Structure 1
Amino acid sequence: MDDVIDPNDHETFHKSQHAIAQLNELQVCRRLAVLEQQRHKREEEWSYLKDLKKIVPHIDITKDSTDDQYRWEFSKNLMMSEWMMEEPDDLEDFLLVPCPKGTRSTLIHELPPDEPVGFLRRPKFLEKKPHYAKLYSKTGHKLLEVKTNIPPDTILDCFYVKKIKTIYILDCMKYDGRDLTNCDTAFRRYWIGSKFYECRLGVIDIRVPKNELKLDFLEGFEFKQPHRVHHCFQRMPYFHDFAELDGYLFYHKDCSYTPGESPLVLWLFPFMIDEVLTMFRVHKDYNTFKPDNYTNYIEFIEKFNVKKEEKNKKRFKNKKKNQEDEKDKNQVGSPNEISFEDNQPCGSKRILKKNDRFDEDLVK
């Protein structure tokens, strides 16, 4: 059986609480350091008028890239979350975003190779709409194509729920050629939320036979309005289209969009809320989703991280093995050919075909 913290064991309990405090203190320090670094970067950018060519997104979609190139470029490019180890003191500076259970993905509408960039682009009324956008997994594999009103040169951070054929927009890295990665979370979500309704991004051309998808925007809640947050936690089910709630993202409102895990983006499952947040409680039915042998959220996080690390190691091992097998396969010659080294000083190789005359003197 797995080790379980006995509530009557006061020594073990206090050690666990001390470990929680240390982890939380470390997370707070990293969060403050990242915030200061991002603020300094914004000040440098606003100190002079930047040339448009210097605004380079994390993913270059202005070139005609192959799927293999995308797979490499998208790897570790999304901004991922860390566990919320303890309730932040500055909780009012965070934005709560309920997330569905689905595939974390990136929705991209490429700029055509012959399309001008920036102010040289053709007027809006001359552009043909709607457009085809491609959906990629977080590892860079193309999942599907969909015809939408999303403008060219746009990159969106999304969740794809295959069961109900819905793409939920979470964040925006680039919109219509404008790089938003250095903007804070509050502005990025305000921008894409406004464009979603203003430009009718959720409208999909249903005349296309393969278009059975729909787009939606994930609503956010500010902790400065606790009554709305309370209503969010008490909603069961949360999504009206039968999507399953996976958990809650806590976005710091001053956070820039940076690839990889960030201490400014935190995550909790619904059944953890009552333990971590002091002022809020989730609907009682969410607590029924606790795993078997669940004791507390700290122990659950530790076990979850161990399983995730083992899974990643196994995936890396299989990937390496497949690469080696592919390499060995490419090195093996054709069965109709015989390769040998002659006794020439250069040590060159000669090839004999199956139907060629075999000279024994050559292989002595």
Structure 2
Amino acid sequence: MDDVIDPNDQNTFHKSQHAIAQLNELQVCRRLQVLEDQRQKREEEWSYLKDLKRIVPHIDITQDSVDDQFRWEFSKNLMMSEWMMEEPEDLEDFLLVPCPKGTRSTLIFDLPPEEPVGFLRRPKFMEKKPHLAKLYAKTGHKLLEVRTNIPPDTIIDCIYVKKIKTIYILDCMKYDGRDMTNCDTAFRRYWIGSKFYECRLGITDIRVPKNELKLDFLEGYDFKQPHRVHHCFQRMPYFEDFAELDGYLFYHKDCSYTPGESPLVLWLFPFMVDEVLTMFRVHKDYNSFKPDNYTNYIEYIEKFNVKKEEKNKKRFKNKKRSQDDDKPKNQVGSSNEMSFEDDNTPCGSKRILKRNDRFDEDFIK
């Protein structure tokens, strides 16, 4: 008979607490190391002027083929979050950003193509279509083409909620040709937030008839103002436009925009907040969204990561299978082999020869 674990057993309790402490210590060490590396990088770049770099590779996004060609580049260039394993000791150095449930995406407004001027300008019937901003999912799929008053040469990290037709601004990688990736989070969010309200940024047109799309900004809350953070956790529902709250992002104020997962950006679902944070509590209705068989946030995170890994493996297998299906029909076996049909053989049968094999010229004819 299998041994039954007693939840009141002190040894089991201490072991789980020790495991959590180790995970939190590793996360804290990595967070401090990343901060030190970013500070050193800023000091090295401060002494001289550096060419502006784009977080997205230099590509012609006016071509529709970009979805297939650079699909994986888009997924690698977004800054993603890690799970908050335990409450950080420097919680006052973080910003809280509530996020709606939607598609993580990138809004890119590239520089318009060069047009001739003066008498060399093309006639109206030969003019190109107006240059539009494009919204890409983190997988690289193009979602929308929109006309906006955002300045060209701008890249914005955002969340697209298709249900309510809204694009929420989350972060800024580049604005009007200014590289923002080496700026800290507090400045980046202040910059894009001030531009959003001062310049009244928005969507002026969309290439879908009878479809209204709007641009909005996700407000942040400083943990140095605990009363505002408490008010944020107690709002139910949080979004007034009927968007569904997905979870909370915790941005470190000194975090630069770095591609991939970062220990300086943490994530919690609403029903986890009461277990992780000691000073704050979410609205009681959020706790009713706990999944079935939910015990604690540590076990939930482990199960979530296992499911995510299995999903990624399945996606990789499907991608490999689709690539195999797209191979030419005359490609049989390895790349060093070629197949052909002989006139003397029955229809459909094939002979296979290796490239290194020696054969007569008359046989090929």
Residue matched to 2:189: 189
TM-score, normalising length: structure 2: 0.84
- 1:229 maps to amino acid: V
Does structure 1 residue 13 correspond to structure 2 residue 13? yes
Q: Distance in 2 between matches of 1:29 and 1:263?
A: 9
Equivalent pairs: percent with the same residue? 81
CA distance 1:340–1:245, shift in 2 (3 Å): same
Question: Are 1:174 and 2:148 matched, yes or no?
Answer: no
Matches within 5 A, 1:1-364: 6-50=6-50, 54-61=51-58, 63=60, 66-67=65-66, 68-114=68-114, 132-205=132-205, 209=209, 211-327=211-327, 329=329, 331=331, 347=358, 362=363
The alpha carbon displacement at 1:71 in A equals 1.6
CA distance 1:329–1:228, shift in 2 (3 Å): farther
Amino acid at match of 1:331: Q
Contact 2:340 2:352 in 1 (8 A): no
SS at match of 1:204: strand
Gap runs ≥5 in structure 1: 117-129, 351-360
Deviations 1:123-152 (A, max 9, x none): xxxxxxx96211111011111111211111
Distance (whole Å) between structure 2 residues aligned to residue 14 and residue 38 of structure 1: 36
| Aligned partner of residue 327 in structure 2, secondary structure | helix
CA 1:29–1:209: 2 relative to 1, 3 Å? same
- Give the aligned partner of residue 120 of structure 1: none
Secondary structure, counterpart of 1:43 in structure 2? helix
Question: 1:343 and 1:33 mapped to 2: Cα distance?
Answer: 54
Counterpart residue number, 1:124? none
Q: Tell me how far apart the structure 1 counterparts of residues 186 and 239 of structure 2 sit (CA, whole Å).
A: 23
Q: Secondary structure, in 3 states, of the residue corresponding to 1:80?
A: strand
Q: 1:103 touches 1:159 (CA, 8 Å); kept in 2?
A: yes
Deviation at 1:209, TM superposition (A): 3.2
Residues 97 and 220 of structure 1 are in contact (CA less than 8 Å); yes or no, is this contact kept in structure 2? yes
How far apart are the structure 1 equivalents of 2:350 and 2:157? 52
Kindly report the root-mean-square deviation, in angstroms, between the aligned alpha carbons of the 2 structures: 3.0
Assess, with a 3 A threshold, how the Cα gap between structure 1 residues 203 and 138 changes in structure 2: closer, same or farther. closer
Decide whether aligned partners of structure 1 residues 181 and 10 sit closer, same or farther in structure 2, where only a CA change above 3 A counts.
same
* Distance (whole Å) between structure 2 residues aligned to residue 323 and residue 344 of structure 1: 24
Q: In 2, are the aligned partners of 1:5 and 1:295 still within 8 Å (CA)?
A: no
Q: Deviations over 1:192-246 (max 9, x none)?
A: 1011112211252479735521110000000000000000000000000000000
The runs of 4+ residues in structure 1 deviating greater than 6 Å are 332-339, 341-346
Question: How far apart are residue 7 of structure 1 and its match?
Answer: 2.9
Aligned length: 336
Task: Quickly say closer, same or farther: Cα 1:342–1:239, change in 2 above 3 A.
Answer: closer
Cα distance between partner residues in 2 of 1:115 and 1:169: 31
Q: Distance in 1 between matches of 2:279 and 2:355?
A: 84
Please report the TM-score for the alignment, with normalisation by the length of structure 1. Answer: 0.84
- Whole-angstrom CA distance in 2 between matches of 1:69 and 1:6: 54
Distance 1:30 1:349 in 2: 65
Alpha-carbon distance between aligned partners in 2 of 1:289 and 1:189, rounded to the nearest angstrom: 30
Gaps of at least 5 residues in structure 2 are 117-129, 333-338, 342-346
Deviation, 1:63, is: 3.9
